[in-house]
Chain A
Amino acid sequence: MAPRRNEAGPDEPTLRMPGDRTVRPNPLREGLRLERMAEPCTMVICGATGDLTERKLAPALYNTLLGGFLPPEFTVVGFARRDLTDEQFRQHLLDGINAHSRNRPAKPAIWESFARGIEYHRGEFDDPAAYVELAKRLDRIDRDRGTSGNRLFYLAVPPNLYPEIVQQLDRAGLAVSGAHRASGSKRGWTRVIVEKPFGYDLDSARTLNREIADVFDEDQVYRIDHYLGKETVQNLAVFRFGNGLFEPIWNRRYIDSVQITVAETVGVEGRGEFYDSTGALRDIVQNHGLQLMAMFAMEPPVEFAAEDLRDEKLKVLRAVKPMTADDVAANTIRGQYVSGWVEGERLPSYRDAPEVEPDSQTETFAALKLAIDSWRWAGVPFYLRTGKAMPSRVTEIAVQFKRAPLALFQRAGVPAVEPNVLAIRVQPDEGILLRFGAKVPGQGLQIRTVNMDFRYGSSFAVDSPDAYETLLLDAMIGDPSLFTRDDEVEQAWTILQPILAAWASGTGGPLHFYAAGTWGPPAADELLERDGRAWRRP
């Protein structure tokens, strides 16, 4: 790895968390809801007039503000091409809050007070002058609003603009943390949030990572995979490592197989052009699917801290057995939906969707059988599937346990008891379900499978924060635990690269078709039937 630009030299003060080394922690924070608070900072949203800002970022910021989690100095600068005044930009955010926030409409007095800290910076992303002006503006904000030189850049733009923007930030001296700045505040941090997709394949991901790494150190980069901000995913770690009950059976001795499902009911919904060049494998499996698998399968981290957590996830991804072209043909299924009925409405074929090529070979469904070659998981198949136009919207991880070693009740003429299943539902109806056999009351011996169903909603009837709220706050606090590291991204692409290559060349098996509103092509069922298993119907 290249020498880190921001690494402290022998006579330089260290740059991480400036101020925190010399100033003691806030004694009044002890015992409050948040032991650590976001430091005062300016958040620069690049591409601030887009959909993401309106739908996700503005509501997330407002709800974080209402919760009392934003420091009073917090300032937003919207940076985009459109010619807007500060006032028009504020209205754009307010519209987003009033339309999409879980707390809406915005309270006028609170909003007005917050809006005073919102500015708009018009400029072209490839115009150096725009960044010079931006730098001046940020220096002024540091002086006027006390944001202490802390800056958070959010790249809410298409990924092809990332390289341009980070290079321009660099040239304007905006990419470095305080002590390296040529002008303005000599204190404070600089961080950048990057949205997925992180690349298109292994090469492009490496290129993108390198282009970002030329400008930012890895500890400045926060790659958002919003799945990781979901409460259930965070709870997966608590479930595994906070309870003594599950970890001892979390291995090949007790677990037969694992199924991970990420199913959507929608089609491509106006994203035809993007989706047709992406497909299910890149869109879902590369990030959400493999991250869920890694969180599920990782070893206990040394500490519940960002680097330890990400090291353990990386180890899982590295242990995934690489596929040969033959493996791809045998262990992967790709599908594309044709016209059918979903949730009572007719969905036209994928190829008939706007901006989709009429002979598109893009998969809208993918099913994989992966193997993790580790002591814990050797021999346990991990089945991943994801698809659009599925019968129901569900994300879950289901663990099938091995059968009892002896079919004790078979002798009494009872059919074999179904194996136990533990299902962890990520969405909707977040919760955990355990399936086991029980005796049917009465004379004789009959066994029936029953479910023990724990729902978060029925134990904690509270409004969970949206994933973006959690993640934005984490980025401001400087906790990258729930963000993806560069090596994780590249390792995930390494796993998928042979599949992408084989599918593209036609050696990876045919593209199957399935009717919208079904659980994928029959070939996906055969993938499991071959092993004597079946997909769950979640």
Chain B
Amino acid sequence: MTAEHPPGRAHDPAHDEQAVHRRLMRFGEAESLATPMWEQRDTTVRAIAGHLSSLWDAPSAPAGSGAVVTEKGLPHARASVLNLIVTVVDSAAADRVVQTLLGLGVRHPSRALVLVPEHEAGEAPLDARISTHCHDAIGGGDRVCYEEVVLAVRGDAAAHLAGIVTPLLIHDLPTHVWWPGDPPFRDAVFEQLVELSDRVIVDTADFDDLLGGLRRLANLRRQSGVGDLAWERLSWWQELTAQFFDAPRFRRYLPNLSRLRIQYAVPAIASARHDEDDEVSPGVAAPMAQALLYAGWIATRLGWKRHRTLEPLSDGGFRLRLEGKHEMVDLLVEPVPTDDVRPGELLSVRLRSLGETGAAEFIIDRDGDDAMVATNADGMTALLRRVSMDTVREPELLSAQLTVDMLDRVYEDALRAAAILLASAREIAA
């Protein structure tokens, strides 16, 4: 990326703007008020900090938008809840990040620092671009503002990002690092950023080496909170699964589960890229991640233990035998080629139980934007219903991950279990 072409910026501004507008409409927002972009090549951290603080001097009126006052004659309040540091490696990743952040700004008044490190020395060590986006909050009256600072850092400075980032953070607010793509766990820059953050957010579905990544992520937890967009994609599946067993009459089937089959989507044609209107969607490196995390979640919540590999990993599927509370459990993970949903999304979950009173099966089958949820138990009328199953987009996933607690014990348990399950599935294959 060159200095003439600022990092993270879409190549066609008109297309970019349209895309952003469409994205905002999805949140039910009318329009964002963006300040004119402040852009400086070969700048200094002090100049950037100076400009950022000037944005806060006139909180009510982003330049060019006209004065905005409420009915009480008070200026619109500015509030911030977090800092977000994002590191990107190339322009495609930068595009994706900027798009996602625009959607995110609607939910989280925040300051985002997008870092584009370029290790080869360029003509200038530091370029910066600052823009502010304000949205009228849902229901009107309030305004949510979000600032985005894109920094291109070159040469030696790229190896010392912490020193550049620290003065630009809003003090006393939680700082999150979002690392799209495959994080370089042992890299010094990555470690610097982990050091100054409260939480690191990744997407395990982006890991090139899934097993190694899951293990390192589990260890990273000792230094920092960990968030995972792949885990967030599971939240609705988890809710639906838990609902089966909220009714006491079905809860007694839980210790007797004997089979869990999880199906997940893989691209129909191996090379196909899943492009959804304006969404810049990278290929999914590890589509099995979600299915593994789901299996890890069930296994750790129900206290299942690894027992034996029945069918080792091949073509993304495997079969394990686990030791449940009362029964041995067959765990099947199966890829299903389809272009209907994003690779890695779950397609179907079936839990089968052999209770004292007979067999029961609990089923969630995805069907486009809906899902069929069914309970079939011996001697009882089958319960069948249709629920919503929207594909949650990246800004919403990130937004949800930014809202939850710093430490998520249930996730950490599932993460460790997912690594063990994957290692077991590979055991014989290797």
Using a CB–CB cutoff of 8 Å, the interface residues on chain A facing chain B are 19-20, 23-24, 26-33, 37, 39-40, 66, 68, 71-73, 107, 109-110, 112-114, 116, 144-146, 148, 392, 428-429, 431, 451, 453-463
Contacts and interface: CB of A to CB of B under 8 A. Distances in A.
Contacts of B144: 457-458, 461
18 contacts: A68-B243, A72-B385, A113-B386, A114-B385, A116-B385, A144-B381, A145-B381, A392-B71, A428-B141, A429-B70, A429-B141, A429-B142, A457-B137, A458-B77, A459-B81, A460-B81, A461-B106, A461-B109
Given A23-B252, A30-B301, A109 B370 contact: yes
A195 to B, nearest CB: 25
B383 to A, nearest CB: 6
Nearest to B29: A461
A457 B107 CA distance: 10
B70 A33 contact: no
Given A32-B242, A113-B387, A459-B79, A39 B139 contact: no
A66 B388 contact: yes
B14 interface: no
B387 A68 contact: yes
Given A458-B144, A461-B106, A28 B245 contact: yes
B207 interface: no
Contacts of B106: 461
A107 B388 CA distance: 9
Contact of B107 (A71, A428, A462): A462
Majority-rule SS of B interface residues: mixed
B270 interface: no
A429 B375 CA distance: 44
Interface in B264-311: 298, 301-302
Given A73-B383, A428-B141, A458-B143, A29 B246 contact: yes
Contacts, number: 135
Given A30-B301, A68-B243, A462 B138 contact: yes
A454 B246 contact: no
Contact of B138 (A71, A392, A454, A457): A457
B73 to A, nearest CB: 10
Given A458-B143, A458-B144, A26 B383 contact: no
A33 B239 contact: yes
A26 B242 contact: yes
B380 to A, nearest CB: 7
Given A454-B77, A463-B139, 20 more contacts: A19-B248, A26-B251, A26-B254, A27-B254, A39-B247, A40-B246, A107-B388, A109-B370, A392-B71, A429-B141, A455-B142, A457-B137, A457-B141, A457-B142, A458-B77, A458-B78, A461-B106, A461-B107, A461-B109, A461-B138
A26 B386 contact: no
B56 interface: no
Contacts of B71: 392
Contact of B386 (A73, A110, A451, A460): A110
B408 interface: yes
